[in-house]
Each structure stands twice: as structure tokens, then as C-alpha cells.
Amino acid sequence: MTTYSISEAAQILNLTSYTLRYYDKEGLIPYVERTPSGKRLFKESDIEALRVIECLKSTGMPIKEIKSFIDWCSEGDSTLQQRHDMFMERKASVEAQMEELRRTMELIEHKCLYYKTALESGTEEIHKQNKIADAFTP
């Protein structure tokens, strides 16, 4: 079985060793083995668990709630509903974030076109002229 040092695991996950130590301190990776001298040994299953943690964190989920999820996983099947509900909430949150980003992108695309047109004509006056022309267009 392949194991990784903390620096190797950090590199695989594009995190810092400090972040992994913090996650361990917060109880997010309770099953990480240690050598007799106390160095952490990360297995593939630990790397996958950390990927889930990073995914949840990227949705804006607080560490405290991620810790609850980790605890529920440790409790087994009796918490399946809580874990499902939590992911449904995360899904809804991410969908809302995506919708907001879509609206933001629409505005950015509009402004890119606005400035491209102004640059091509050498002035923003082109937009004022178009607004007047648009007002008289049926």
C-alpha cells in the first residue's frame, strides 16, 4: 500500500502542509496513520477524503460543518439521511452561486462588447447615438 508524507500529500492536493496539519488538528482527517516518531502517513483513502473536504470548503461550507460531516461518516449508516441532506443543501448553494456568476458574466460580456464597439469607433458617443436611434426604431 502506497503512503505519502505530509509534503507529498500537500503537493498532490495543491495545498500546504500547514493546511493539512490544521485539518488534522480540527479532526477532519481522524484516520491518518502516524509513524512511531509521529509523522503522518497519508493513504489514497486519506487523499480522497481530503478531496471531498476541499470540495465542501470550496462551496463556502465552514470547517465546523465539515467536521460534522466527518463525524457522521464515522457513525455509519445511521447518518445517511443527514449526509444526503447536507449534500442537497450544498448542491442548492452551488446552484445559486452559479446563477449569480452567470448573471455577472452576462454583465461582463455586455461591457466587453460595449467597450469593443467604443474602441472600434474611437468614442463612447456611438452608444449614445445608438440609444437615440433605438428610441425611434419600431
Q: What is the pLDDT along the chain (138 residues), one digit of tens a residue?
A: 899 999 999 999 999 999 999 999 999 999 999 999 999 999 999 999 999 999 999 999 999 999 999 999 999 999 999 999 999 999 999 999 999 999 999 999 999 999 999 899 898 888 777 665 555 555
Q: Is 35 left (phi over 0), alpha (psi -120 to 50) or beta?
A: beta
Q: At 110, phi and psi to the nearest 5?
A: -60, -45
pLDDT of residue 134: 56
Q: Which domain holds residue 37?
A: 1-58
Q: Is residue 73 part of a domain?
A: no
Please check whether residue 67 lies inside any domain of the structure.
no
> Who's near 29: CB < 8 A, 6+ residues apart?
20, 23, 46, 49, 50, 53, 70
CA distances from 118 to 125, 132, 137 (A): 8, 16, 21
In the prediction, which pLDDT does 128 show?
78
Q: What is the pLDDT of residue 105?
A: 97
* pLDDT at residue 130 in the model: 65
- Do 53 and 3 fall into the same domain? yes
What gap in Å lies between CA 101 and CA 107, rounded to an integer? Answer: 10
Question: Does any domain span residue 68?
Answer: no
* Domains: count for the chain: 2
Q: What H or E segment, with its residue span, contains residue 40?
A: strand 40-41
Q: What is the predicted pLDDT for the residue at 125?
A: 85
121 in helix, strand or coil?
helix
Tell me the H-state helices in 35-79. 44-58, 63-75
- For the domain that residue 46 is a member of, what is the CATH number? 1.10.1660.10
Q: Is position 66 within any domain?
A: no
Q: Give the closest residue to 127 by CA, choosing from 137, 136, 114, 110.
A: 114
8 A C-beta contact, residue 43 and residue 3: yes
DSSP code at position 76:
G
Q: Is residue 63 part of a domain?
A: no
**pLDDT score recorded for residue 84:** 98
